Amino acid sequence: MSARILNGNAIREEIYAELADKISALAAAGIRPGLAAVLVGENPASKVYVKSKIAACEKLGLASIHLTPPATSSTAELLSVVEELNLRDDVDGILVQLPLPTQVDAKKILEAVDPAKDVDGFHPINVGRLVAGRPNLVACTPLGVMEIFKRSGIPLEGANAVVLGRSDIVGKPMALLLMHANATVTVCHSKTRDLPEVARRADIVVAAMGRAAMITSDYIRPGATVIDVGINRITQAAEAEKLFAHFPERLAEFRAKGTALIGDVHPDVVNIAGALTPVPGGVGPLTIAMLMSNTVKAAQLRRGSRASVAAAVRQ
């Protein structure tokens, strides 16, 4: 029996509908939340990501500022850009698209963002609040995964959850959010012994290792919920033939385009998992949705009584 597919696109639209009410309430108080996106250089993938985030702002009626410093920018020059955005009252959220050029101290740039405008949830102050169980602005991808659980009726309390990956962006905040939801959490990584055996004990597996199709059916207990955070592009025909051997439609699509997106979870897992997020169309749409949600939340928190009163009227 195939897994239940957890449709991220449908959940995103639910969240956008709820955000529209909050945005209307803010507008009634004369407030338009604004997101500033800083894209350094010409990285093609980063340009696509930022474009999709700006498009989401336009769809929801949020203000957006798109800054494009050159790839030769120094740490000092980017710090100046961030400081100017920190001071602008019309900017509620600041997004510095990663990766940054090698000559830039990325940690210094991220730590320079005003924590009240840190809609990516990367600032040490916001991370510390999450650790303490007092979250404010939380990293968008794990926050989006929590929305998938909540809106799909996946019980977390008492569940055994395994997080595959320990990155600051996904793995660590994901584990903390699951712990705060009363799941029993194991965090695994490349040095974990008997990784498939550890994963097979889980009711919930969150895969964020950054390796295409690494998580095969051997890692999954029958009926488990599997969240695939990975997004990898494959271009080799031999690899596609192997991965999509049991999925003729996806193989035909690859042959037509010469490329395909695949997560960290092998496609065959759909036949053993109880529920599964697809790639694309699973976690990805929720990452952007939670960026929009964080921007609206930052506006409500930053702009004081006007925002609070207006939002309360509609909640």
> Which are the catalytic amino acids?
53, 97, 120
Selection from 83, 100, 104 nearest residue 40 by Cα: 100
Rounded CA separation 303/30 (Å): 11
Rounded CA separation 72/39 (Å): 12
- Provide DSSP, 152-203: HT---TT-EEEEE---TTTHHHHHHHHHHTT-EEEEE-TT-TTHHHHHHT-S
